[in-house]
Amino acid sequence: MNPCSSRYPHSLNSGGPASRTREEHISESLLGKDEGHVRCPLLLRLAIDFEGKWPLAVLQRLLAKVGAAGPDALRSRYAIPDRRLLGRPLPPDAPRISAVESPPERVLEQALLLGLCTRNLYDPARPVIWTEASLTRGIELFDPRGFYA
């Protein structure tokens, strides 16, 4: 995947005045590398399509359906990653699971994980925060242990 494609536009500043600007094309990324000395493999892709419905209302209904008291109660239901992971936004056209047609357990697991993410980081020590922004984002999560080892 080319990070300079229209999916991942980047504006970078080399620190000099406008007369010394330059353009660099990035053709590699450490994210998603599974082999070699430096590894940062893709672990998860998270994205839910709420199909025009209000995300919090959909999830409250699903929580009631499975008998969970709230978002934090979901932590004990799923085996979630126990360490921080790096995140990268998914392209807008990436596939998403349907909040309406997918099994409630699958939707709630993804919602739990999305509630533990910021735009670029998954942290299991965070409180589960469900906002419209956090629930409607799509994110890829990568394991940085092979990079920092």
Per-residue pLDDT tens digits for 129-149: 999 999 999 999 988 875 555
- Judged against a pLDDT cut of 50, whether residue 91 lies above it is answered with yes
**Cα gap 83→49, rounded to integer Å:** 26
Among residues 22, 53, 16, 39, the alpha carbon closest in space to that of 145 is found at 39
- Three-class SS of residue 58? helix
Q: What's the confidence (pLDDT) of residue 116?
A: 97
- Model confidence pTM above 0.85: no
Q: What's the confidence (pLDDT) of residue 20?
A: 65
**Cα gap 55→131, rounded to integer Å:** 8
pLDDT band at 54 (very low <50, low <70, confident <90, very high): very high
Q: Where are the beta strands (DSSP E) in 25-91?
A: 42-46, 48-49, 85-89
Average pLDDT, the chain: 84
Q: What would the mean pLDDT of 9-33 be, rounded to a whole number? A: 62
